[in-house]
Amino acid sequence: MSGLPAGRPTMPAAALTTRPPRVRVLNRKHDSAAVVYQLTAGRHRQLGVIVELAIDDYRSGRIRRHEATHPDPVRRLAEMWETSALAHMPVTLFHRSMPRLRALLCQTATGEPDGRLVSGEGGSEAAWLLPDGAVARAIQAELAELDVLYIADGHHRMSAAADYFAGHAGVAPFMPAALFPADEMRVLGYHRCLARPAPESETLETLAALPATAWLTESAVPVEPAPGIVGVHLDGRWYRLGLRTPPAAADPRASLDLVALENGILSPMLGGADVASDVRITAVPGTEDTASLARYCAERDTIGFLLYPPDIRQIMAVADAGLVMPPKSTWFDPKPSSGLLHG
């Protein structure tokens, strides 16, 4: 059984169905008409709202995915749905900008939060619980205007929820979620590390000769990736690799640097192997800096490829087309922890 929407999403004919969340804040149960929620990491801040979403909106395509899921973790999550705290953590989604909703949330967030959790890495979470009143009703009215949401973090949990509720008709099919505006999301993406297939000189010759490589030059300093430019780390040296610009295509995935890297560089270097499942390739979260990636490559004798993350508009275009990116394409940061909010 699979709860995944297949193909192009159904165009929304009505608003999404949401309801106020029944959440625990710092393990204390609260009944609130609205819950405003903030994530911070360093200077980055994103302000949103906690709701419960109807699983039917996921099945219909109003809640859209951009990454494929693996069946095993989906099955495990569905099987332990009633007992797993992880399954009931809010999934993270985003929506197009709504200025009125943003103003209401900012107004609420000027006060002291009802719950706050500070991490040891410069991050924090905060929640404001609103009783029924003018502000809560105004927030609910804005949420009633939503017709599409995009999954950021929680693809496997959404799919598991759809599978679970399909077999439990007597249970209300709702899922806790944190909703944020798209322009406040921070996407860090993933890098790739490839087990070295040949000595350094042969590897460089192979890289330079591949059709997807527009140019390859050595750099005296660590390379920060940019759109169309990949940082390559090999044997303690850094190289700047320019990806050949793909021709215009109807498939929005064609514009993704990761797709160009996987199809035009990694797969040929592995003899045409399936990049998504090949054990010689490791995906490294974009939270790692150039120094960390260099150490990782040195310890494991791998070639590092630093990628610029997808733009939020690219992610939305892929989801709107009913398509998915390669696994491990996006790393959204910061993420909700398991400490502040529970379903």
Do 54 and 138 touch, CB atoms closer than 8 A? no
The CA distance from 130 to 185, in Å, is 24
pLDDT on residue 82 = 76
pLDDT digits (tens, 9 = 90+) for 148-178: 999 999 999 999 999 999 988 878 899 999 9
Query: Residue 342 and residue 85: Cα distance in Å, rounded?
Result: 8
What is the percentage of the chain residues whose pLDDT exceeds 90? Answer: 68
Q: Please state the φ and ψ torsions of residue 6, each to the nearest 5 degrees.
A: -110, 145
Contact 12, 333 (CB under 8 A): no
Q: Please report the pLDDT score of residue 26 as a whole number.
A: 67
> Does residue 211 surpass a pLDDT of 50?
yes
Task: Please check whether residue 184 is in contact with residue 106, taking contact to mean a CB–CB distance below 8 angstroms.
Answer: no
The predicted structure's pLDDT at residue 11: 52
- pLDDT of 292: 92
Question: Alpha carbon 32 to chain centroid distance?
Answer: 28
Q: Is 38:178 a contact under the CB 8 Å cutoff?
A: no
pLDDT of res. 34: 93
Asked if 9 and 64 count as a contact pair (C-beta separation under 8 A), the reply is yes
Which pLDDT does position 121 carry in this prediction?
74
More confident residue, 328 or 139: 139
Judged against a pLDDT cut of 80, whether residue 226 lies above it is answered with yes
- Per-residue pLDDT at 223 exceeds 50: yes
pLDDT at residue 193 is higher than 50: yes
Of all residues in the chain, what percent carry a pLDDT higher than 70? 92
171 or 6, greater pLDDT: 171
Question: Is it the case that residue 338 has pLDDT exceeding 90?
Answer: no
Task: Provide the pLDDT for residue 343.
Answer: 60
What is d(CA 34, CA 327) in angstroms, rounded to the nearest whole number?
A: 34
Owner of token pair 């103003």: 103
Which range is most confident: 6-20, 27-41, 269-283?
269-283
Half-sphere exposure of 299 (CA within 13 A, CB side): 6
Give the whole-angstrom CA distance, residue 322 versus residue 316.
10
Q: pLDDT at position 105, please?
A: 98
What mean pLDDT is predicted for residues 230-242? 96
pLDDT band, very low/low/confident/very high, at 280 (cuts 50, 70, 90) = very high
Domain ranges of the chain: 18-186+333-342, 190-308
Distance CA 169, CA 176 (A): 18
- pLDDT for 171: 83
pTM, two decimals, is: 0.89
Confidence bin at 274 (pLDDT 50/70/90): confident
pLDDT digits (tens, 9 = 90+) for 293-326: 999 999 999 999 999 999 999 999 999 999 999 8
pLDDT tens digits, one per residue of 101-151: 999 999 999 999 998 988 867 789 999 999 999 999 999 999 999 999 999
The single-letter code of the amino acid at 307 is: L
For residue 221, pLDDT beyond 50: yes
What gap in Å lies between CA 48 and CA 92, rounded to an integer? 10
Rounding to the nearest 10 degrees, give the CA dihedral for residues 99, 105, 108, 112: -140
pLDDT tops 60 at residue 9 = no
Q: CB-based contacts of 292: which residues, under 8 Å, 6+ apart? A: none
